[in-house]
């Protein structure tokens, strides 16, 4: 499995500059790992008002349980919401705050 180097904050900056891509090959590998790889705390985006509002959610650890919405992570801009999820996943995988 691809291992993310927590020192590569340049990749965080690249994502923050353009959350929708396109991404460099290295960032593509990171994004794929964060989206598809096993993560204990899986964060997702939930559209809470169609096309206008997104809330960060945390997937349950047991199948069939409800997604927990984070009340302090509500966004009116999709890119800002995507950045937040990327940062949370980065921290979950690497153990480091991406800054």
pLDDT, tens digit, for every residue of 11-45? 999 999 999 999 999 999 999 999 998 888 899 99
- pTM comes to 0.94
What digits encode the pLDDT tens for the residues 43-94? 999 999 999 999 999 999 888 999 999 999 999 999 999 999 999 999 999 9
pLDDT of 61: 86
69 lies in some domain: yes
Q: 83: which DSSP letter?
A: H
2 lies in some domain: no
Q: Which domain holds residue 25?
A: 9-94
pLDDT of 24: 98
pLDDT of 41: 85
Q: How many domains does the chain have?
A: 1
Angle at 96 between CA 27 and CA 72, to 5 degrees: 95
99 lies in some domain: no
83 lies in some domain: yes
90 lies in some domain: yes
21 lies in some domain: yes
4 lies in some domain: no
């Amino acid at each position: 499995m691809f291992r993310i180097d927590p020192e590569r904050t340049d990749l965080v900056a690249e994502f923050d500059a353009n959350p929708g891509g396109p991404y460099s090959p290295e960032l593509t590998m990171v994004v794929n790992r964060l989206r598809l790889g096993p993560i204990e705390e899986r964060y997702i985006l939930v559209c809470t008002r169609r096309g206008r509002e997104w809330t960060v959610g945390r997937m349950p650890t047991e199948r069939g349980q409800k997604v927990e919405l984070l009340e302090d992570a509500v966004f009116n801009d999709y890119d800002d919401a995507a950045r937040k999820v990327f940062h949370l996943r980065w921290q979950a995988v690497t153990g480091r705050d991406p800054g």
